[in-house]
A and B are shown apart, each in its own frame.
With several copies, the nearest count.
Chain A
């Protein structure tokens, strides 16, 4: 939501991120290990953004890094972790336990319905009754209503309208039309529900080219686009590249060694230690290492090797 009728959306990373105000509600795109807007997130940390509130589904390194970087004050996600592979999200966990981050644990379905309410211009969405869980203790804003048609009890969930959707996508044109390949996760909904959207893309193409490939998101829903190849790294951006499991393993290992170690050996190096996204890409291995991540489509064996490589 929000109508962004300008036809010149191309923006530098630092300028785009500078528009996000402290205290914003943010909807981060992608999911778990996939297509998370990591380059934007690193810039948010560099710019010292703080006191933000995230709303979303099942996420991983994006939310964990935003916690470590001091950006998030409230996390209203349904899951933040590294699944069976690397386990708990160390920074998120630590900061919640230290009461520096307030957990507002939610549910994937709740996120869907609360964003839908915003998309439909409604103050709330009804939902089949949810009860019996302590999730409700975290969400006193849920109301139980008796349906005037059926007499059944329903849960009402208030609208959540993010100030900013922060998305990484495949392509845009200069106007801000966005091409996104499936899986979409909740990204389309997040963009529609949010007042503003920053979208980093692998490539900005001409309007003519976008006409040919067909956009997924109309330009008027997008506030700014930033061209950042490998902007999702270390998460994946299929079909362009798979995720960098080795980098994530290093991330989790450092994060598990405590706040100071993580700050010194990860944040100082990969976030504060680089002046640009290009510098970051050099630091994580440069052309050769990144090129390797694009080779998942050479066949099952290669794909297995990239995902399973011995850490």
Chain B
């Protein structure tokens, strides 16, 4: 099989592959708002190792769509292409409340060591410095879903106008929009939550799982060229270091070709820095 133009891959594509691999065949999968990268991953899983998975086209609630391209807004009806039936949105939320949603993808403006996510505000409720858009359905579905995959394309530590380093991955979030593996005092069982919470994290630098003892993120694989030090520098907390940190298993050429077919408009690249996107990884 000759696959044109697939002699390299880029960070968005590597992330999509890593995210796709968190899906098991037969999983029920939902993804809501602001979705190019997770949707690329879901479509990829569906077209490779997880053909019996079940997923809905975001808030449009079409079943197993096969869109010719991924739109810049997840509210666009191209996400209903070949979907059948088109459900009512509440049918998916009900399914999640029944404990039948296997996996969902969540990101966060802040992400703490336990996988708690903040998409609500920076600052405090009394003094909001940045009002973020909100968590959509992540606050409640995060309590119900069997597991969720955390993803972030901003695993970095920008320097603010005041000269401070501002992390996405922080010791603790300003506001818990979506609960992770535990709060500071109680784990999910103690909280009485139905779902299992986050079990894996895919960033632009690396992938984590969680240390079963402490529920803290555990560094598992490094993307090509990334060092442990680089991860630690860009992480506002001290992650657990796995005994065997390896390089992130590379994508296959077929996976990369599929990704480019799934998302010909490259909407999955939105939000990445130009320099990150310009870096080409060889197979």
**A residues whose Cβ falls under 8 Å from a Cβ of B:** 1-3, 5-7, 30-34, 57-58, 60, 77-85, 88-89, 92-93, 96-97, 103, 105-110, 112, 118-122, 127-135, 137-138, 152-153, 177, 182-186, 188-189, 192, 210-211, 214-218, 220, 235-236, 238-239, 242-243, 245, 300, 303-304, 307-308
Q: Once the chains bind, are B135 and A107 in contact (CB under 8 Å)?
A: yes
Q: Once the chains bind, are A133 and B178 in contact (CB under 8 Å)?
A: yes
Among the stretches B71-79, B236-244, B251-259, the one at the interface with A is B71-79
Q: How far is the CB of B188 from the nearest CB of chain A, in Å? A: 8
Contact of A57 among B34, B59, B69, B76 (CB under 8 A): B59
> Residues of A contacting B270 with CB < 8 Å?
84-85
Q: How far is the CB of B180 from the nearest CB of chain A, in Å? A: 8
Q: How far is the CB of B11 from the nearest CB of chain A, in Å? A: 15
Q: Once the chains bind, are B76 and A218 in contact (CB under 8 Å)?
A: no
Residue among A30, A110, A134, A211 facing the most chain B CB atoms (10 A cut-off): A134
Q: How far is the CB of B67 from the nearest CB of chain A, in Å? A: 9
Contact of A177 among B84, B134, B144 (CB under 8 A): B84
In the docked arrangement, what's the CA distance between A38 and B195, Å?
38
Contact of B61 among A80, A128, A183, A238 (CB under 8 A): A183
Q: Once the chains bind, are B77 and A31 in contact (CB under 8 Å)?
A: no
A-B pair number, CB within 8 angstroms: 263
> Residues of A contacting B136 with CB < 8 Å?
57-58, 78-79, 107-108
The verdict on B10 contacting chain A, using a C-beta distance below 8 Å, is: no
Q: Once the chains bind, are B191 and A132 in contact (CB under 8 Å)?
A: yes
> Residues of A contacting B183 with CB < 8 Å?
132
Task: Give a binary string over B62-98; 1 marks a CB under 8 Å from any A CB, 0 the rest.
Answer: 1100001101111111101010111111110111111
In the docked arrangement, what's the CA distance between A85 and B143, Å?
28
Q: Once the chains bind, are A79 and B135 in contact (CB under 8 Å)?
A: yes
> Residues of A contacting B36 with CB < 8 Å?
84
In the docked arrangement, what's the CA distance between A89 and B134, Å?
11
Q: Once the chains bind, are A153 and B192 in contact (CB under 8 Å)?
A: yes
Chain B interface, DSSP helix/strand/loop, else mixed? loop
Q: How far is the CB of B50 from the nearest CB of chain A, in Å? A: 10
> What is the number of residues of chain B that contact chain A, defined by CB distance less than 8 Å?
80
Q: Once the chains bind, are A32 and B33 in contact (CB under 8 Å)?
A: yes
Q: Once the chains bind, are B94 and A119 in contact (CB under 8 Å)?
A: yes
Residue among B34, B63, B91, B175 facing the most chain A CB atoms (10 A cut-off): B34
Q: Once the chains bind, are B28 and A3 in contact (CB under 8 Å)?
A: yes
Residue among A3, A132, A245 facing the most chain B CB atoms (10 A cut-off): A132
Q: Top 9 nearest A-B pairs by Cβ distance?
A: A81-B133, A32-B75, A108-B137, A132-B179, A121-B98, A121-B97, A109-B140, A83-B34, A34-B75
Contact of A5 among B52, B121, B179 (CB under 8 A): B52
Task: Give a binary string over B86-124; 1 marks a CB under 8 Å from any A CB, 0 the rest.
Answer: 111111011111111000000000000000000011000
Known: A129-B193, A132-B179, A215-B85. A105 touches B129 (CB 8 A): no
Known: A6-B52, A132-B143, A132-B176. A215 touches B84 (CB 8 A): yes
In the docked arrangement, what's the CA distance between A189 and B130, Å?
32
Q: Once the chains bind, are B100 and A214 in contact (CB under 8 Å)?
A: no
Contact of A80 among B125, B134, B144 (CB under 8 A): B134
Closest to A137 in B: B125
Closest to A77 in B: B134
Q: Once the chains bind, are A135 and B139 in contact (CB under 8 Å)?
A: yes
